[in-house]
């Protein structure tokens, strides 16, 4: 090791992590070179001064108030986090509830629609029946599954059906249209609009008819 190298690495001689080979070379050089030996001694004095400072400040630590402030910050953040998580849970719960309600509603609607679905199919077939579909009142067709608030009157030419595969088709039409089914109609009231239920067979042919109760009061149907 020469003087230049000693200046760069020789002062690491006393360090714990010093390379043993380099440290030995530096010590050897210092023994031979008075200048480098003086440098080493000066540095050792400085190191002892630094050790003095290190020892004097060995127990220095952040004051307790720092810890208090940090604990407070931690608690504040933890408390802030709880409502946020609860909000998230509540959000998910509401979403789940909405899905449940929607599913329930769909199931109910679907269940109700089973019979009317058949009626709807029948009604399309009924549309071809003269006197019911050819009139503009077809637009007013309403479907009902359980409107049985009165007795049905068998249509002329039809036979009573016992199979039970029948549907009720609710229609709003002018009273005069009932004449096409063979019912006598008062000419003066032929233009009145009435709600009528047709009992439709599975082949789509109307079998019987009845007027709604409010209309029955004034019915002329015999």
159 near other proteins (CB under 8 A): no
Beta strands in 6-162 (DSSP E): 142-143, 153-154
Only segment of 24-32, 43-51, 114-122, 169-177 that touches other proteins (CB under 8 A): 43-51
Place of tokens 């929607």: 102
How far apart CA 178 and CA 160 sit, in angstroms, is: 19
Instruction: State in angstroms the smallest separation of the CB of 65 from other proteins.
Output: 8
7 near other proteins (CB under 8 A): yes
CB 183 within 8 A of CB 152: no
Among 24, 28, 69, 87, binds other proteins (CB under 8 A): 69
Please give the backbone phi and psi of residue 136, each rounded to the nearest 5 degrees, phi first.
-70, -10
SS3 call for 206? strand
Instruction: State in angstroms the smallest separation of the CB of 3 from other proteins.
Output: 14
Binding-site ranges for other proteins (CB under 8 A): 7-9, 11, 16-17, 39, 42-43, 45-47, 49-50, 52-57, 59-63, 65-67, 69-71, 73-75, 77-78, 81
């Amino acid at each position: 090791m020469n003087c230049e190298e000693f200046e760069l690495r020789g002062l690491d001689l006393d360090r714990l992590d010093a390379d043993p080979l380099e440290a030995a070379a530096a010590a050897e050089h210092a023994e031979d070179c008075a200048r480098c030996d003086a440098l080493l001694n000066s540095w050792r004095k400085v190191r002892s001064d630094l050790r003095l400072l290190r020892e004097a400040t060995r127990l220095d630590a952040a004051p307790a108030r720092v810890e208090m402030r940090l604990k407070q910050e931690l608690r504040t953040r933890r408390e802030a986090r709880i409502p946020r998580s609860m909000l998230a849970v509540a959000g998910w719960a509401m979403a789940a509830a909405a899905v449940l309600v929607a599913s329930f509603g769909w199931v109910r609607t679907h269940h109700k629609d089973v019979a009317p679905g058949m009626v709807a199919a029948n009604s399309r077939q009924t549309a071809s029946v003269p006197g019911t579909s050819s009139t503009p009142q077809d637009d007013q067709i309403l479907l009902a599954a359980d409107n049985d608030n009165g007795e049905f009157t068998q249509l002329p030419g039809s036979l009573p059906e016992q199979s039970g595969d029948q549907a009720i088709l609710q229609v709003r039409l002018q009273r005069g249209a009932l004449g096409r089914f063979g019912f006598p109609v008062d000419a003066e009231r032929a233009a009145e609009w009435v709600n009528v239920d047709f009992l439709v067979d599975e082949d789509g042919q109307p079998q019987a008819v009845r007027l709604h109760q409010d209309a029955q009061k004034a019915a002329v149907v015999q």
